[in-house]
Amino acid sequence: MGVSDQSYSVSSISSGYNEQNPKDWIDALKAALSELRRTNAEAVANLDAIGIAGHMHGATLLDKNGAILHPCILWNDTRSHKQASKLDQDKNLRNITGNIIFPGFTAPKLLWVQENKPELFTNIAKVLLPASYLGYYLTGDYFMDMSDAAGTSWLDVRNRCWSDYALNAGNMRSDQMPALFEGSQLASSVSKFIADELGIPRGVSVVAGAGDNAAAACGVGIMQEGQGFVSLGTSGVILTARSECNPLAEAAVHTFCHALPNTWYQMGVILSATNSLNWLSSIIGQSPSQLAAKLNDEIDGPSSEKFYPYLSGERTPLNDAHIRGGFAGLSTNSTATKLTQAVMEGVAFALRDCLEALKKAGPCPEQLLAIGGGGRSRYWLETIATCLNTPIACPTDGEYGAALGAARLAILGKTGEPIKNILSQPSISEMIEPRQDLIDDYCQAFKMYKNVPLHLKSIQ
């Protein structure tokens, strides 16, 4: 298996604004394939199918010629909070889309564009998400998978189709939407021109793929009721697969289509997980790994310092784009190590908030797989296991993220293999059990944590 990682920047021109240039994604794709041609030429020469995953919700606006009209407005952009609040007052939209209309979702972003950049709005011929824009670049066709479309606030999540009602509510039209496919369906093939430009074989199939969390679930085989994962990435996620669509929007639980037919998933989302540690790292001047290394592998009780990880607002369960984070309990004895512990615990308590919300929606997994970069810290995982009172399964080292899930969807679409043969779960290197001797201490600390958000908001 060949792997190439490329990066691109985020532009934040004002508080709450986060954008990327879609051309940067194409440049990253070209750089990745160039590297793979050097390091794994045989695999590239035998390429047969491509699966695409991307960060959800990002509004990529194209004119009638397919040209980019505006930088992509990202999932963590909150400029459209007023438009989201207005849409969310229509309770029919919650029933159709299965979710609160969050500022980070796509529909309110388009209302913001209409109100603030009306000339640009009139020129919008298609709205794509990051993964579907990459698909358009590769094939020249407009398509999107169900899991990604579920995060737009234009999809009827239960019936897996665009909703005319939701589109009308957002002043959009069905002809501005791409065609819908299930994640493992063959959507198109790479155009001859792009195949030659990228140095890959002609005729390579492209499946619809998935949004990042659905793809990550495919990467670790989370497809059935009772299975779930905890993700410690830039954001934090607790995700569980569902065999039926039973939304619980009032608890700020996300209910989305999964990447395979007749399957859904629900998740609680916090906006700043490893991003909280990255922020602390930038303030202190030590890398996140250096900060984490100063903590033991095993926890010994909650910190006297407290951290509230609302650096960019919060989704589950607060649904508050304006709340901001903070420390409490600081003293002259507070050190970088103690602040690191407080940050990890604050993220763990926020994930406990997510789990409590998910429990209201249906049964939750008896154990959770750990994915994401934060999972390299055993201390952090044991903190989470104890806060959630849920065992955490640590996969054997390897690539288990959204890219693997997208590749697996490509295999399913191209070969027609049974799902169970492809979407397997990884081997487990360690099962981190909750610390029974400390559960009561962390439960008490969580109760104190729950009382703080309203007080934080009152002084901001």
Would you please indicate which residues are annotated as catalytic (active-site) residues? 212
Which residues are 328's β-sheet partners?
306
Around Cβ 216, how many Cβ atoms within 10 Å? 27
Contacts of 93 (CB under 8 A, 6+ apart): 87, 101, 153, 165, 166, 169
Rounded CA gap, 268 and 230, in Å?
A: 10
| Local structure of residue 243 (DSSP, 8 states) | S
Rounded CA gap, 328 and 317, in Å?
A: 21
CB 453 within 8 A of CB 308: yes
197 HSE (CA, 13 A, CB side): 13
Where are the extended beta strands (E) located within 2-55? 19-20, 49-50, 53-54
CB 96 within 8 A of CB 157: yes
Burial class (CB in 10 A: 0-12, 13-18, 19+), 268: buried
Question: For residue 329, which amino acid is it?
Answer: G
| Per-residue tokens: 172 | 């959009």
Which run of H or of E encompasses 52? none
Contacts of 2 (CB under 8 A, 6+ apart): 36, 39, 40, 43, 44
| Per-residue tokens: 42 | 């045989």
Rounded CA gap, 132 and 389, in Å?
A: 38
Around Cβ 297, how many Cβ atoms within 10 Å? 10
Closest CA to 107 of 93, 91, 92, 122: 93
CA quadruple 328, 331, 335, 337: dihedral sign = negative
Burial class (CB in 10 A: 0-12, 13-18, 19+), 78: buried
